[in-house]
Structure 1
Amino acid sequence: MVKRRRKQVSSKKESTPATRTERNNDALSDDLDKNADHIRSVYAEASDLIFRRFYIAGKQKAVLFYLDGLVDIQELDDSVLSPLMEEFTAEYSDVKELLEKKISVSGVKEFTNIQDCLKKISSGFPVILLEGRKSGIALNLTKFEKRAIDEPPAEAVIRGPREGFVETLGINRTMLRRKIKSPKLKMKEMEIGKYSVTPVILAYMDGIAEEGLIKEAENRLKRIDIDGVLDSGIIEELVEDNPYSPFPQILTTERPDVATSHLLEGRFVVLVDGSPFVLIAPVTIYSFLQASEDYYNRFIISTLIRWLRYIFLLISLLLPSIYVAVITFHAEMVPTSLMIGMAASREAIPFPALIEALLMEITFEALREAGLRLPKQVGSAVSIVGALVIGEAAVMAGIVSAPMVIVVALTGIASFTIPRYSGAAAIRMLRFPMILLAGTLGLLGIMLGLITIIIHLATIRSFGVPYLSPMAPMMGSETKDVLVRAPWWKLNTRPHLTGKYNKYRQAPGQKPGPKHGGD
C-alpha cells in the first residue's frame, strides 16, 4: 500500500514540468498573482531573477521581473519605475496609452501570452505585468559587457579597414548598416535553438540577390531544430550542400568590408548572436584564395600575389607526394648530381620515404596545433623553435633526411599563403592521402588523386552554385576576378550566381586618364 502511494506521488511530480510547459503557451490571465506565481515557478532556483512588486500612481498593482546583470538598472529606475510610481491623476484606458504618456523608453513591446513573457525575460528585457490586464510590457533596457571593436587577428591587412565583427549581434548589424546606407539592405531576424533561443539575422540586398536564393537560405535556417547555437560554425554545418566534402562551401569572415562586398555581389550574409564570424554564401573555391587586401592595392600587384597563391596552393598539396614518388619510383627523373646528393643524405635513414614523409608531416601539424593552443606569448616561439630543434635533431640522429626537412618546411610555408583558414585546412587534410598514393603508385597515384579531387570539386555546389564556376562551367565575362584581379574600372558586372540577377554594378567607361578637349 505504501509502495503504491509512493508511485502515485512520484508520477505526479514527473508530470509537473510537462504541465508547466503547456501553461507557458497559455494567454496571460487578468489575475496578477496567478501570472507572477507561474513565472516565479518556471524560474525556480534561478537566483538572478529579480521580482519587484509596486503600485502605479499608488493605486494599480504591478510586478516587475528581470534578470540581474542583463538590465540597465539606472535607466530602469529613472525612466520607468520613478514615473510610474509617482502620484498622477490621469486615467488610462489601456496599457498602450500608459506607455505613450508615462514611460520614456523607446523600445517597448506589448505581449499577451506567457511564452512571450518568458522569452523576453530570458533575453534580458525587464517585464511589467499589471493587475486586471491580460497583457504585459517588455522594455528594451538590456545592458551587458561587450568586447571592443578591434582588428581581426586572423584577417589582418596592411591596407584596408581595421575593424572586425564582435560577439554582439546589434553591433554587427550596425557595422553593416554603416557600410551600406540604403534601405535595399534587408535583414530578416529569426531565433534558432530550443534552449539558447539565439537571434540570427539573414542579410541580403533587395534587387541584387536572387529571390529564390534568399528563399532557399531562409528555409534551410528555419528547418534547424537543435537545443542551442553557440557559434556560427554550428549553423554552417547544418545548412551546407555537401556535408561530407573536405572543402568548405560557406565562407566565414570577421571583416565587415568583406561581408559588404559579397552583399553587393548578390550573396547573402548570416549573422549569429554570440559569434564574431559571419557566414557568406554562395561561394566558389576561388573565394578562399582571395583576400580583402587584393581590392585595396593596385591591380597589377594584386594579380601577381594571386598567382603566387595559386602556385603555393599546388606546392602545399603536391610537393611532399612528388618527393616521395620520385625517391621511391622515379629516380631517373632527377639529375644525376642531385640524385647522388639525395641518396647520400638518405643512406643512413632506416625508414622508406613514405614513412619519413608521414612522420615529418604529422610532427609539423602537431607543432602547428600546439602553437595555436598555447598562450600567444609562447605559442609562436614553441612552433618555430620546436620545428628548428626537432628538425635539426632528427637529421643529426639519422631519423629523417635533410631534403625531407626542406620539403616539409616549404610545404608548411606554402600552406600559410592561403588567406582562409578553412580552405587551408582542406588542403592540409588532402595532403596525407596524396602522400599515401605517391608512396604506393608513384606519379600514377598522384594523377589519380588529382583527377579524383577535380571530379569532386566539379560535382559539389554551394547553395546551387557550381563550386568551380566561372571556370567550370566557363563564363568568360566573369573570369576578370579569378586568375587575375582586373582594375576596378573594368569590373562592371556582378558574378552570375543563380537565376535572375542585377548584372551591372557600375557605369562603363570609367577608365582614368588625362582629360581631352582642352578642359
Structure 2
Amino acid sequence: MSAFSEQIESQLKSKLHGSEGLVIKSLGGNIVVAFMTGMVDNAQLNLNLLAPLTKNDQCDSLETLSEMIPIGDCKPFDQLSDVIEKLLSGFALVLLKGKDGGLLVNLANIPSRAPSNAETESTIYGPMIAFTESMEKNIALLRSYITSDKLIQEEVQLAAEPHTSASLLYLDEKEKNPFVELIRKRINKQKYKGLIGSPLFLKILTDNKYSLFPEMSLSERPDRTAQAILEGKVVVMVEGNSQVIIGPNTFADFFQSVEDRYSSWGLGMFNRSLRAIALIISIFLTPLYVAALTFHYEMIPMPLLESLIMSRARVPFPPLMEALVMEVSIELLREAGARLPTKVGQTMGIVGGIVIGQAAVQAGFTSNILIMLVALAALGSFTTPNYMMSSSIRFIRFPMLIVAGFLGLLGITFFSAFLFIHLLRMTSYGKPYMYPFYPPNSKGLINTMLITESSPFQYKTDLTRSNTKGGKSRMTKWFKSNDEE
C-alpha cells in the first residue's frame, strides 16, 4: 500500500476515533472502500459500488476505477482535507493501493421530508408547494419554474464550524448584477461558530443590523422565489433550511403578497391599498385613543366623548395603562397560540380573546371601545403578508403608545418623524429602502400599486437594474453601496 493510502486510513481512524459508524473494507485486491453507515444509501452501496468493484478487484489506474463505477457523482481527490468532510456528508471513499489520490462517490442518504404545502405563506390562488430542508430538492423545485440556462447556481462555503453549504441563485445577463459581489464579500468576511440557519444568516447580510425593519425577506415558496430572481434579485439557499433569503427588498415589497399576482389588477390594487390602510390603523389607532383621552379630549365630538366617558366610568386606570395592558394581553394570546399545536392554538386564540375581553370589561379593567380598537389594531398588523415586518409593526406600537401617553399628539408627531427619517436613511445593499417613494419614480409607483400583465415578469424593477440605456441606473446617483464607501 502507498504512503498516501496509509496516510488516509490513519487519518480516518484518528479523526473518527470512537465512531462505530466508520467502515473500512478491503476488496481482496488493491481496492479499499471507506464509508459511514447510516449516511449512505445501502442499496446504491451494494449494487453500484461494492458489486462492480468486487468483480473487478484488480485495477491499475483511477481512470479505469472511475469507469467501473456506474454513479454520476464520482470525483477524484488528492487533498487529505477533503476526505473527512465528504465522508460525513454521505460520500464513500475508494482508494487504490499504490496510487496517490482516490475517488469520492456520492451515496448520500440524508433523511429529508417530501415537499408539502406552504404554512407561513399560504394562499388561496396559485401553487401550494413549499421548499424542504434539502437544498438539492429546493434547487430542483426552483428550476421547474425557471427552465432557462441563464439561471446560475453558485456554491459558496461559509466559514463556519460545523461546515455549512449555501448557494447563490441569480440570472446571468449582459448587465452584471451588483448584488452578487456584495453578498460574496459579506459571506467571506464573516466567521461563524455553530449551526447557521437562514434567519441568522439574514442578519449577517443586512446593511442596518440594528434596525427594526427587515431588509431581506425569507420565503418558503418556489413561485415567489422564482419571481424575485426574474426581477433581478439574488436568492441565498442554506443547506438544512426550508426558507430561502431574497434580496434586496424595499419597504413596499414586504406588503405584496404572491396572491396579488394571480388576481386581477383591480382586486390586486384593492388588496394592497387595504394593507396600506391596515398599516396606519395598526400603528396609530390605539396611540391616538390614548393621546385624545389624556390630552386632547376637547377635539373629540361630544356624542363620541359621552360614549367614551360612559364606557370608562368604572375603569380605574389611566388610558395609557389601560391600553398597554390590553396590548400586552393580545400579544400573550398571539404568542401562546403560535406555540401550541395548530388546531389547539387557533381555538385558544379565538376563545381566549373573547373570554378575556368580556371578563376585563365586566370587571371594570377596560372599556368596550378600547377592546374594539385593540382588536382592529391587531387585525391590521396581521394583514401584512411578511411575518418579520408584521412583528416589527406590532413592536413599534408600544413606544408609540408610550410617547402618546406622555406627550400626546406632539409625541406621536415626533416619533412618526423619527420613523420616517430612519426609513428614508435605510438602504438594502446600497439601494434606497423607500424606493419608489424616495427617490420618487413614477413607473415604480405604478408597479407597486397596480398589477398589470407585463409588470410581474417581463421587466426588472429599477431597483435591481444595474444599467439602463443611458448608462448607469438612475438609482446609482442617489446612493452608493455601503461596502464601497
Query: TM-score, with normalisation over the residues of structure 1?
Result: 0.87
Matching residue within 7, 18, 27 for 1:45: 18
**Contact 2:115 2:130 survives alignment (8 Å):** yes
Shift, 1:215, TM fit: 0.8
5 Å-filtered alignment, 1:402-421, equals 402-421=368-387
Partner of 2:35, secondary structure, is: strand
Q: Are residues 1:33 and 2:2 paired?
A: no
Shift, 1:415, TM fit: 1.0
Distance 1:144 1:279 in 2: 23
Aligned to 2:37: 68
Which amino acid letter does the alignment assign opposite residue 124 of structure 2? I
Q: Are residues 1:144 and 2:110 paired?
A: yes
**Contact 2:198 2:245 survives alignment (8 Å):** yes
Deviates more, 1:42-51 or 1:408-417: 42-51
Distance 1:168 1:140 in 2: 15
Matching residue within 65, 78, 97 for 2:64: 97
Shift, 1:191, TM fit: 2.0
Distance 2:167 2:384 in 1: 29
Partner of 2:91, secondary structure, is: coil
Shift, 1:78, TM fit: 1.0
Could you list the per-position Cα deviations for residues 77-131 of structure 1 after superposition, in whole angstroms to 9, with x for gaps in the alignment? 1111111112577x53x2122212x111111011112111111112111112222
Q: Are residues 1:179 and 2:148 paired?
A: no
Shift, 1:227, TM fit: 1.8
Q: Are residues 1:237 and 2:210 paired?
A: no
**Contact 2:177 2:232 survives alignment (8 Å):** no
**Contact 1:111 1:137 survives alignment (8 Å):** yes
Could you list the per-position Cα deviations for residues 389-427 of structure 1 after superposition, in whole angstroms to 9, with x for gaps in the alignment? 111111111111111111111111111110000110110
**Contact 1:208 1:502 survives alignment (8 Å):** no
- What residue ranges of structure 1 are gaps of 5+ in the alignment? 1-27, 504-519
Distance 1:435 1:208 in 2: 50
Partner of 1:204, secondary structure, is: strand
Distance 2:410 2:174 in 1: 46
Could you list the per-position Cα deviations for residues 435-481 of structure 1 after superposition, in whole angstroms to 9, with x for gaps in the alignment? 00110111111111111110000001111110001110001122222
Could you list the per-position Cα deviations for residues 57-80 of structure 1 after superposition, in whole angstroms to 9, with x for gaps in the alignment? xx21x3322222221111111111
Larger radius of gyration: 1
Matching residue within 441, 450, 456 for 1:485: 450
- What residue ranges of structure 2 are gaps of 5+ in the alignment? 470-485
Aligned to 1:196: 162
Aligned to 1:354: 320
Could you list the per-position Cα deviations for residues 138-167 of structure 1 after superposition, in whole angstroms to 9, with x for gaps in the alignment? 111111322111111111111111111110
Distance 1:266 1:490 in 2: 13
Partner of 2:242, secondary structure, is: coil
Which amino acid letter does the alignment assign opposite residue 98 of structure 1? L
Q: Are residues 1:338 and 2:307 paired?
A: no
Q: Are residues 1:82 and 2:82 paired?
A: no
Shift, 1:364, TM fit: 0.6
Shift, 1:32, TM fit: 2.9
Distance 2:132 2:24 in 1: 32
Q: 1:209 to 1:441 in 2, by over 3 A?
A: farther
**Contact 1:159 1:293 survives alignment (8 Å):** yes
Which amino acid letter does the alignment assign opposite residue 450 of structure 2? R
Q: 1:302 to 1:231 in 2, by over 3 A?
A: same
Q: Are residues 1:422 and 2:422 paired?
A: no
Q: 1:425 to 1:209 in 2, by over 3 A?
A: farther
Shift, 1:385, TM fit: 1.1
Aligned to 2:262: 296
Q: 1:385 to 1:209 in 2, by over 3 A?
A: farther
Which amino acid letter does the alignment assign opposite residue 44 of structure 1? H
Distance 1:209 1:274 in 2: 32
Partner of 1:64, secondary structure, is: strand
Q: Are residues 1:370 and 2:343 paired?
A: no
Distance 1:490 1:33 in 2: 62
Aligned to 2:473: none
**Contact 1:230 1:275 survives alignment (8 Å):** no
Aligned to 1:311: 277
Matching residue within 238, 243, 255 for 1:277: 243
Aligned to 1:23: none
Which amino acid letter does the alignment assign opposite residue 76 of structure 1? L
**Contact 2:159 2:188 survives alignment (8 Å):** no
**Contact 1:126 1:139 survives alignment (8 Å):** yes
Aligned to 2:88: 122
Matching residue within 421, 443, 451 for 2:409: 443
Equivalences, count:
468
Shift, 1:358, TM fit: 0.6
Q: 1:234 to 1:182 in 2, by over 3 A?
A: same
Q: CA RMSD in A?
A: 1.8
Aligned to 2:192: 226
Which amino acid letter does the alignment assign opposite residue 74 of structure 1? A
Shift, 1:31, TM fit: 4.7
Distance 1:29 1:191 in 2: 32
Distance 1:385 1:218 in 2: 49
Shift, 1:490, TM fit: 6.1
Q: 1:390 to 1:429 in 2, by over 3 A?
A: same
Partner of 1:85, secondary structure, is: helix
Q: 1:174 to 1:440 in 2, by over 3 A?
A: same
Which amino acid letter does the alignment assign opposite residue 52 of structure 2? P
